[in-house]
Amino acid sequence: MEQRLSDPAADPHALQRSTLRGNAESIGFAIMVAALVVTPFFTYPLFLMQAMCFALFACAFNLLIGYVGLLSFGHALYFGWASYLSAYAAKAWGFTPELAILTGTATAALCGLVAGLLAIRRQGIYFAMITLALAQMMYFFALQAKFTGGEDGIQAVPRGHLFGVIDLRNEAAMYVVVLVIFLAGFLFIHRVVNSPFGEVLKAIRENETRAISLGYRTDRYKLIAFVLSATLAGVAGATKAIVLQLASLTDVNWPMSGEVVLMTLVGGLGTIFGPVVGSFVILVMQFKLAAMGEWVLVIQGVIFVACVLLFRRGVIGEIANWLRIRL
């Protein structure tokens, strides 16, 4: 025991370990960027763009569950409503794609603020239930409202011209835009987690009572994290609407909320790369198994159970633990 507690300054491996940590993240990031730059030459760019949108969605969700310890079971609300508003702004109002995405994002931020104010004081399962209830309420609203197009959704959304100049019907141009948005969102989340604010979030997750006794008004920090998470989920949903030229009920319904939980869990809660890997794994699986119809759901269920029982840390979490690094 005393041995392990010896002066870290006298431990030559300690410094090495901490630089390795930083490096592991940089290397992981380089690999991710390289893969996203190279793969469109080998597979369907549309699939990759969709996957990046879901990856950003999962990263946004992970900001809340992985770094604050709050389980929102209604994140489809922000993804889906951002998707609707982005699609509607582009189609009905003729907004340029960047303004359409901003419109969708702002919608998600606003919904996040309202839902956050209602839910943030609740703990544990009550928090999850309130977020789910609010999301279901907004699902029924989407079902009834005229502008959402009901069962049809909003189809044939024009991709338009970025800044009124770059034609996004060009697949390469669209790909670059999505890649930039995804990477910006990813880096932003990384920064939030590794900021003075992120340090307080960590403290709240570790011991909220103690954080309060040190004078932290913890509800405010949780609310800000909630709104940031909803906003980023909105960026993902709004971008998705432009990419797939579609916003539909699928985006706001509860299975979407469940899917983002699954993606994050498979990749690794509270790891920075986990949600990205998790969403790619799930989407590739859905794509490959599409012919099997309903069986996909069964297989997803099995994966979910396997993760909970056997690989609690998820793919990235297990790797990081095995290599004793942070990813």
Q: Contact residues for another protein (CB under 8 A)?
A: 1, 4-9, 14, 191-192, 194-200, 202-203, 206-207, 209-218, 221, 224, 228
Of 100 and 232, nearer to another protein (C-beta) is: 232
Nearest distance, CB of residue 203 and another protein, angstroms? 5
**Closest of 304, 60, 23 to residue 182, by C-alpha:** 60
Do 56 and 186 contact (CB within 8 A), yes or no?
yes
Do 235 and 100 contact (CB within 8 A), yes or no?
no
Contacts of residue 272, defined as CB under 8 A and 6 or more positions apart, other chains included, come to 25, 28, 59, 186, 189, 190, 193, 327
Nearest distance, CB of residue 217 and another protein, angstroms? 5
Of 228 and 277, nearer to another protein (C-beta) is: 228
Of 230 and 263, nearer to another protein (C-beta) is: 230
Of 29 and 197, nearer to another protein (C-beta) is: 197
Of 13 and 146, nearer to another protein (C-beta) is: 13
Nearest distance, CB of residue 228 and another protein, angstroms? 7
Nearest distance, CB of residue 198 and another protein, angstroms? 7
Amino acid, single-letter form, for residue 90: A
Give 180-185 contacts, CB < 8 A, sequence gap 24+.
Answer: 181/52, 181/56, 181/101, 181/235, 181/239, 182/36, 182/52, 182/53, 182/55, 182/56, 183/33, 183/36, 185/56, 185/59, 185/60, 185/232, 185/235, 185/236
Nearest distance, CB of residue 319 and another protein, angstroms? 19
Of 100 and 223, nearer to another protein (C-beta) is: 223
Q: How many angstroms separate the CA atoms of 194 and 175, rounded?
A: 28
Nearest distance, CB of residue 220 and another protein, angstroms? 8
